[in-house]
Structure 1
Amino acid sequence: MKRLIEKGLMFGNLVRVDSPALVERYNRGLRQLARKETALTEFHIDLSGYSPEIGEELGDHLYLNPNGCNRQFILLSTEQKSAPLLNAKFSMSRSILRRFIEENEEQLFSLTARDAVVGELEDTVYELGSAVRLFDIQRITVVADTTGNHVAESEKLSGLITRFRTEPEGWYDDALIGQMIGLAERTGDVTRNPVALRATSFETPDFWTAHFGGLYIFRSVPHPAAIAMGDRIALGALPIDYVFAHEQRNEIAKFLEMNALVEPIVRARGADAGAILRQKMDFILVEAASRLGLDAGSGSRRELRAIAQHLGSALPEEFQALAAILRWLEAGGPWPRIDSRHPAYFYTLRAAQGPLRDLVNMLLAELCPLDVRQMFICHKELFYRLYATWPEAKKAYVADFLEREYQIDKAGARRALFGAEPGMEDLPAPGPWDAAPVPPKAPSPRDAVDLVGPWGAVLRGRR
């Protein structure tokens, strides 16, 4: 992992805490949330205030995430909104925390100027003894205040001011006036500078969780389902129509197609399909070379081409299928018939635009483990876990590639691969029963995509 850290691919963009005042504020928050404190005089924190250095010191990397649910946070600065969220157990945690900071940036800037803001992503579930408890998570509420309860006291003072102004005897109530004066000494003038936090409640129908071996839950789509990356049988009965194991490729493909959640890369608007396919083929060759102990040199395309020539008919199926698509796309080769049983099937897709884009791309990253770039961008927890198991040559190639091709322009790379970031104006893609009828015509190779699905008919097996 040292190579990733040095290249800024791990623990990158963390916020440095190195002043005595900030360390003391952090300790006040840590004592309030976890009844612990750090002896470190400098460390780095992520979006939630979690510090890898403090995790090592305490011997507990979940010190702000007990039981892996209801994540707690310590905000020392609004700059934390640009930091990553480490040790994420739920996919929605980062987006909720970041949106909360952005929606309340002015208030939080004022509050963190003199104190730490601490809080929790709160739901009604406090332990996850069984997978069925995950379906009780319907809404996340952000509960936040300073360690000195500035927000709560400001709300209390606002209520007392309302009483003072509306109650007939308010002007003569010495006890009420005394309370107001005492609170105002701590909160300031809340009539001119009101303290109120917005955007604190978020619906969470669809998410990924690391619990139970990894589970994707889709409840807002027309055909709801859960997809288990761990032991599906061990989950028990779940309150959702369908639960698919990760090896049920046909069922997963059908689920994605029926809910219009994916699109073929070769049809994606604005995508350079040829460049994307070539890079996926390079990743597949690097994996094949490292598995067979072949020297890929620096991993240049010329050296990888030599590896492909050396392997010949022993080339991985994924590589051969993507090469066939590339020939069809650029040289008018025959249309490749790739159905959901084929190991290359999910490599040919990306998430359709819409609010579930990032979650679907995360799922595709698990279904396409050889595409290391998508895995790093969309599912860092999985990337770091698999990276530790790779041969040294593959580690070096992947780290150098990501530093050279992704770190330079992260936003541009994401836009080129996955399209524009989802926005409020995005509408769901038309489902299988919503599409407008198309007049019949003689099919061309490209029309075949529409006739049989992304690459071939999704197999209609038993549900």
Structure 2
Amino acid sequence: MRRLIKSGLMFGNLVHVASPALVERYNRALKHLTGKTTSLSDFYVDISGYSPEVGHELDDPLYLNHAGVNRQFILLTTEQKRAPLLDMKFSTSRGILRQFIEENEPALFALTARDAVAGELVNSVYDMSTPARLFDIRRVRVEADTVGGALKQADALDEKVSRFMNEEDAWFDDVLIAEMIGLAGETGDVVRNPIDLREMSFDQRNFWTAHFGGTYLFQDVDHPALISGADRDHFDDLPIRYAFDLRQRNQIAKFLELNGLAEPIAKARGIDAGAILRQKMDFILVDALAGQGVALSGRSRVDMRRLARQHARHLPEEFHVLAALVNWAENGGPWPRVASDSPAYFYTLRAADHPDADLVNMLLSELSPKDIRQLFICHKPLFYDRYATWSAEKKDFVVEFLVNEYQIDKVGTRRALFGFEPPMQEDDLITRVGPWGAVRR
């Protein structure tokens, strides 16, 4: 894992906490939330304020996420919005934290200038003892305040100011005036500079959780289902009709089709399908040759084609199916029928254009794990688990590829792989093919 860290592929974009003032604020917030403190003089934190160094020191990687539910957070700076979320237990948590920070950025900037903001992502579930508890998670509410209670004090001051302005004889209430002066010394002028954080809550209907072997729950679709990495037999007595494990590929394929959640890469609009499929072929080739003494890093496209020809008989079905799709997309070859029980099937799909596209791409990456780029982008916890098991040759190739091909232009790569073009309007169609339609040759 050291090479991933040095290359910025793991623990990248964490926020460095090094000044004594920030460390002291962090300790106050940590004590407030957990009753613990750290003796470290500097460390790095993620978007939630979790620090792997502090977790190691406390021998508790869940010190801000007890039982893996109701994640607590510590904000020292609004710059944390750019950091990743480490040890993710729910796929929605980072998005919720980032939206909370962005929606409240001016107030959080003012609050964190003087104190740490501590809070919690609250739902009605306090343990994950059984899979049925997943269905009790319906909304996540964000609760936050400074350790010193600045927001509570601001609310109290606002209430006293209202009394002072509206009650008869309040001008002669020395106790009320003294209380206002005392609170104003802590909060500042809340009349001219109100301090407030928007109350925010989020629906939690479709999500992934690390619990129960890694579980995807789709409730807000026409045909709901639960899909898990654990054995299907562990999911009896659930308030849902369909529950599958990842081995039930036909059922998962039907679920994606019925709900319109995925589309074939070869037929998707606005992407270079041939280039994407060829790259997937390279990843499958690397996986097949890893551990056989073949040097894989530093190979050009020509080198990869040469390796594929030399080892064609030993390459898996996925490689040959994707090659047939590339032949169809680029050379007008016959359309290859790919059944859902084919090991290549999920390599041929990507999420369709809908609000849960990221979640579907995460599921597809788990069903096509040899595609190391999609696995890294869409499912980092699984990527890190798989990376630890790979041969040295494959690790070399993967790190080199991600550093040289992905890190250089993350946004562009994501757009090329997963972006959607808007439907063609009538004017666009006329511009492309002319007013009398396409000319046939």
Counterparts of 1:28-107 in structure 2 under 5 Å?
Answer: 28-107=28-107
Q: Which amino acid aligns with 2:113?
A: A
Residues 124 and 284 from structure 1, CA distance in 2 versus in 1: closer, same or farther, beyond 3 angstroms? same
Structure 1 residue 360, shift from structure 2 partner: 0.6
What residue number does 1:370 align with?
370
What residue number does 1:329 align with?
329
Q: Matched residues in 1 for 2:225 and 2:388: separation?
A: 31
Q: Matched residues in 1 for 2:349 and 2:84: separation?
A: 26
What residue number does 1:265 align with?
265
Q: Can you list the C-alpha shifts for 1:321-341, whole angstroms capped at 9, x where unaligned? A: 000000111111111010111
Counterparts of 1:262-341 in structure 2 under 5 Å?
Answer: 262-296=262-296, 298-341=298-341
Q: Matched residues in 1 for 2:206 and 2:297: separation?
A: 43
What residue number does 1:402 align with?
402
Structure 1 residue 294, shift from structure 2 partner: 3.7
Q: Is the contact made by 1:289 and 1:295 (CA closer than 8 Å) also made in structure 2?
A: no
Structure 1 residue 353, shift from structure 2 partner: 1.6
Q: Can you list the C-alpha shifts for 1:143-194, whole angstroms capped at 9, x where unaligned? A: 1011100011111221222233333454444443333222222111111111
Q: Which stretch of the first structure deviates more once superposed, 319-328 or 349-358?
A: 349-358
The 3-state SS of whatever aligns with 2:164 is: helix
What residue number does 1:241 align with?
241
Q: Which amino acid aligns with 2:334?
A: P
Q: Matched residues in 2 for 1:252 and 1:302: separation?
A: 36
Q: Matched residues in 2 for 1:175 and 1:163: separation?
A: 12
Q: Is the contact made by 1:232 and 1:244 (CA closer than 8 Å) also made in structure 2?
A: yes
Q: Matched residues in 2 for 1:124 and 1:181: separation?
A: 39
What residue number does 1:438 align with?
none
Q: Matched residues in 2 for 1:193 and 1:65: separation?
A: 34
Q: Is the contact made by 2:227 and 2:243 (CA closer than 8 Å) also made in structure 1?
A: yes
Residues 297 and 103 from structure 1, CA distance in 2 versus in 1: closer, same or farther, beyond 3 angstroms? closer
Q: Which amino acid aligns with 1:27?
A: N
Identity %: 61
Q: Which amino acid aligns with 1:18?
A: A
Q: Matched residues in 2 for 1:296 and 1:102: separation?
A: 42
What residue number does 1:209 align with?
209
Runs of 5+ consecutive residues of structure 2 not aligned to the other structure: 424-441
Q: Matched residues in 1 for 2:98 and 2:44: separation?
A: 18
Query: What is the Cα-based RMSD across aligned positions, in Å?
Result: 1.7
Q: Matched residues in 2 for 1:166 and 1:95: separation?
A: 42
Q: Matched residues in 1 for 2:195 and 2:296: separation?
A: 60
What residue number does 1:455 align with?
none
The 3-state SS of whatever aligns with 1:212 is: coil
Q: Matched residues in 1 for 2:245 and 2:385: separation?
A: 20
Q: Can you list the C-alpha shifts for 1:263-319, whole angstroms capped at 9, x where unaligned? A: 111222211101100100000000000154444353433332233222233321000
Q: Matched residues in 2 for 1:88 and 1:312: separation?
A: 39
Which runs of 4 or more aligned residues in structure 1 lie more than 6 Å from their structure 2 counterparts after TM superposition? Answer: none
What residue number does 2:228 align with?
228
Q: Matched residues in 2 for 1:162 and 1:321: separation?
A: 72
What residue number does 1:441 align with?
none
Structure 1 residue 229, shift from structure 2 partner: 1.3
The 3-state SS of whatever aligns with 2:216 is: strand
User: How many residues are aligned here?
Assistant: 423
Q: Matched residues in 2 for 1:37 and 1:371: separation?
A: 41
The 3-state SS of whatever aligns with 1:304 is: helix
Q: Is the contact made by 2:214 and 2:230 (CA closer than 8 Å) also made in structure 1?
A: yes
Q: Which amino acid aligns with 1:31?
A: K
What residue number does 1:436 align with?
none
Q: Which stretch of the first structure deviates more once superposed, 179-188 or 349-358?
A: 179-188
Residues 136 and 330 from structure 1, CA distance in 2 versus in 1: closer, same or farther, beyond 3 angstroms? same
Q: Matched residues in 2 for 1:224 and 1:375: separation?
A: 24
Q: Is the contact made by 2:228 and 2:246 (CA closer than 8 Å) also made in structure 1?
A: yes
What residue number does 1:126 align with?
126
Q: Is the contact made by 2:346 and 2:367 (CA closer than 8 Å) also made in structure 1?
A: yes
Q: Which stretch of the first structure deviates more once superposed, 379-388 or 126-135?
A: 126-135
Q: Is the contact made by 2:18 and 2:43 (CA closer than 8 Å) also made in structure 1?
A: yes
Q: Which stretch of the first structure deviates more once superposed, 327-336 or 163-172?
A: 163-172
Q: Which amino acid aligns with 2:265?
A: I
What residue number does 1:9 align with?
9
Under a length normalisation based on structure 1, what TM-score does the superposition of the two structures give?
0.88
Runs of 5+ consecutive residues of structure 1 not aligned to the other structure: 428-463
The 3-state SS of whatever aligns with 2:143 is: strand
The 3-state SS of whatever aligns with 2:311 is: helix
The 3-state SS of whatever aligns with 2:212 is: helix
Q: Which stretch of the first structure deviates more once superposed, 97-106 or 224-233?
A: 224-233
What residue number does 1:154 align with?
154
Counterparts of 1:301-450 in structure 2 under 5 Å?
Answer: 301-419=301-419
Q: Matched residues in 1 for 2:317 and 2:389: separation?
A: 22
What residue number does 2:192 align with?
192
The 3-state SS of whatever aligns with 1:222 is: coil
Q: Is the contact made by 1:350 and 1:364 (CA closer than 8 Å) also made in structure 2?
A: yes
Q: Is the contact made by 2:297 and 2:396 (CA closer than 8 Å) also made in structure 1?
A: no
Under a length normalisation based on structure 2, what TM-score does the superposition of the two structures give?
0.93
Q: Which stretch of the first structure deviates more once superposed, 215-224 or 158-167?
A: 158-167
Q: Matched residues in 1 for 2:404 and 2:312: separation?
A: 29
Q: Matched residues in 1 for 2:109 and 2:87: separation?
A: 26
The 3-state SS of whatever aligns with 2:208 is: strand
Residues 240 and 172 from structure 1, CA distance in 2 versus in 1: closer, same or farther, beyond 3 angstroms? farther
